[in-house]
Structure 1
C-alpha cells in the first residue's frame, strides 16, 4: 500500500515560510537586548523587557487569531500576518527611543503570532492523517533550525557589522517568503451554519480548543523547563568557564534533532505517541539534571544532544497530539491553544526562575527544573497516556 505523499510543493513552502518567521524571531531575540542597551542605554531589566515583550504580543495575537482563522480564511490570515510582520520589522530602522522600541517589539510579536498560527493550521491540513507524526516532526524542524541558525548568525553579524545588518537580513528573507506563499495552495475552509454560530459569542470555546488543553498544560511545563536553557545557559557557561563550548550548544541540539526526526515521526504514526513521548520526557529530564553537574565541555555538548532528542521530540509530537485529539474543523484553534500554553511557559519561566538563581544557583536551578520535567511523565500518563494506551488496545482487539 502506497503512503500518501508528504513532501509536496505546498508542504515545502509553508515549512520554509515558518522557518523564516522563527529565524527572525530568534535572531532578534538574542540581539535586541544589546541593541536596547547600547543605543538607548537601557538598564538590564529594560533590555530584558524589550526582548520578552515580543512573546507577550505573540500570546495575545494567538488568542484572537486562533479563534478567527476559520472565519477569516487560512491563507488570508497568513497574508495579514506576513504583511504586519514585514511592516513591523521594517519599523526597526525608524526606532528612535526605548518606548518606540517596546511598542514595536510588542506589535512585531503580535504579527508573528498571527502568521505562525496560520502556518501551523495550514500545515496541519496539508499533512496526510496517515503521516501526521512524521509530517509534524519534519515541519517542526523549521523551528529547530531557526533556533540554531538565527542566534548564531545574529551574534556573528553583531561582531562583524552594524545592528541594521540584522534587520536587513531578516527583511530579505521575509520578502522572499512572502513572495513564495503566493504560490501556496490552501484548501478552502467550509463551515456549516452550526459551526459558524458556535464561533459567535464570548466563551472559553472561542479562544481555546478544550480537547487540546491537557497536552497543552504539559507543553507549558516542559516549555517552562526549556526557558531555563534559553535564558540562563550563557550566564551559566560563563560561570563555569565554558563560554566557547557553550556557543556550539544549539548547533549540537539542531544536529541531533535532525538525526532523530525521521525515526521519531514514523514511530509516532506506527507505534503510537506513547512510544515517543515517554522517552522524550526522560531524555529532557536527564539532560537538565546532567546540566546541573557539568564541569567539562564535552558534557555540555552531550546535554545539547539530549535536549535535541528530548525537548525537540516532545514539542513536535505534542503539537501532533493536540491536532489529533481535536475536531478537524478546529485545527486552527487546537494549534493556537497548544502554542499559547507553550509560549506562556517559555515566557513566564525566566521571570519565575530568576527569583531562584540567587537562592540555589544555576546548578540547583537546573537540577530542580529537571525534577519538574521528570514529574511530567506521570502527569502525561494521567492526562493522555493511559487513554491512548486503552485506545490502541481496543484497536488491536478489533483486528
Structure 2
C-alpha cells in the first residue's frame, strides 16, 4: 500500500519557518540570562525572568491565537504573528536597562506564542493522519535543529563579538522565518471555520481533551527549563565552558539519528512504547548531568537528555492533537503549548531560586527523581485511563 505524501511544499515551508523562528528563540534564550548577570549584575532569579517573561507572554497569547485561527484563517494568523516577532527582534538594540529588555521579551513572546500555535496547527492540518506521529516528529525536529545552531552560534557570538552581533543575528533569523512563512499556501476549505464571535469561556479558549497530556508535558517542562536557562551557566561553574556550546549540538545529533525510528514506532505501536523508555533515559541523563566532572560525561548527559526529552515532547504534542476533534486542532495545539510553556516559565524562575539554595549538582540530581515521579503520573493519568475506557467502549458496542 502506498504511503500518503508527507514532504509537500507546505510542509517544507512551514518547517523552514519554524526552524528560523526557533533559531532566533535559542539565540536569545541561552544568552540573555548571562547578559543579565554580567551586564546588568542581576541575581539568578532575575536572570531567569528573561525566560519567564517571554513564555508568560506566549502563554497568554496562545488561547486567543487558537480562537483567531478558526476565524481569520491559518495563513493570516501566521503572517501577523511572524510580523510581531520580527518587529520585536529589531527593538532589542534600544533598551539600556534590564526592565527595557524584559519589555521587549514580553512583546516578542506574544509573537512567538501566536506563531508556534499557528505553525503547529497548520502541520496538524496538512500532515496525513496515517503519518501524524512521523510528520509531527519531523516538524518538531526543525526546532531541534535550531537547538543545535542557536545556542552554539548565540554563545559564540556573545563570547567573541558581544550583544550587538547577537541581536543582529536574531533579526536575520526572524526575517528568514517570515519569508519562509509566506510560502505556506493553505487551500483546505476548513481554513476558516467560523466568523461568529465565540463567548470568552474556558471551553472556547482551551481544548479539554488536551489538558491532561498538556499538564504532564508541563510537569516535565519544569526540568527542561533548567537546561534551557542554566546549562551554560552550570558549565561555566564547573569549568567546562569550552564545551558548553556543544551541549545542544550533541542533544540534537542524537535526535536526528533517532527521529526516523521513533515517529514511525509511534504510528505503528502507539505512544506508550515510546514514552516509558524516553522518561527513563531523561532521568538517567539528568543524573549524569548532576554528577558530571568531565567533558565526556557532560556531553553524554546531553545525548541521553536529547534522546529522552527530545522524544517525549513531540510524542506529547501528537497525543494532544490526536485526542482532539479535527476542527479543534488549533485549540488543542494552543492548549498544549500554553500549559507546557507555563511549566517552562514557572520552572525558569523557580529553578533560579532553588539553585541559589542548593546548588547545581544537588538540583540536577533531584531532577532525576522528579522525572521518575512523572512516569508514575503519566501511568495513572494516561495509561490507566485508557485501560478503563476501552472496556467501557467494548461493552457499549456489545
> What is residue 257 of structure 1 aligned with on the other side?
255
* Cα 1:245/1:50, change in 2 over 3 Å: closer
What SS does the aligned partner of 2:199 have? Answer: coil
Distance 1:127 1:380 in 2: 26
1:189 corresponds to 2:187: no
Offset of 1:54 from its aligned partner? 1.4
Structure number with the bigger relative contact order (C-alpha 8 A, sep ≥ 6) is: 2
* Cα 1:373/1:33, change in 2 over 3 Å: closer
Distance 1:220 1:301 in 2: 25
Aligned residue runs from structure 1 range 1-399, under 5 A = 1-35=1-35, 41=40, 43-44=42-43, 46-186=46-186, 187-189=188-190, 200-388=198-386
What SS does the aligned partner of 1:292 have? Answer: helix
What SS does the aligned partner of 1:314 have? Answer: helix
What SS does the aligned partner of 1:93 have? Answer: coil
Instruction: Tell me the alpha carbon deviations over residues 236-259 of structure 1, each in whole angstroms, 9 at most, x when there is no partner.
Output: 333433332333221110100110
Offset of 1:339 from its aligned partner? 0.8
Moved more, 380-389 or 258-267: 380-389
TM-score by length of 2: 0.91
Distance 2:41 2:357 in 1: 26
Offset of 1:322 from its aligned partner? 0.3
Distance 2:13 2:325 in 1: 25
Distance 2:11 2:191 in 1: 21
Gaps of 5+ in 1: none
* Cα 1:272/1:366, change in 2 over 3 Å: same
* Cα 1:97/1:375, change in 2 over 3 Å: closer
How many pairs does the alignment contain?
392
Instruction: Tell me the alpha carbon deviations over residues 220-270 of structure 1, each in whole angstroms, 9 at most, x when there is no partner.
Output: 011011112223323333343333233322111010011000000000001
Distance 2:38 2:237 in 1: 24
Distance 1:149 1:204 in 2: 38
Alpha-carbon RMSD across the aligned residues, in angstroms, is 2.4
Gaps of 5+ in 2: none
Distance 1:181 1:371 in 2: 41
TM-score by length of 1: 0.91
What SS does the aligned partner of 2:147 have? Answer: helix
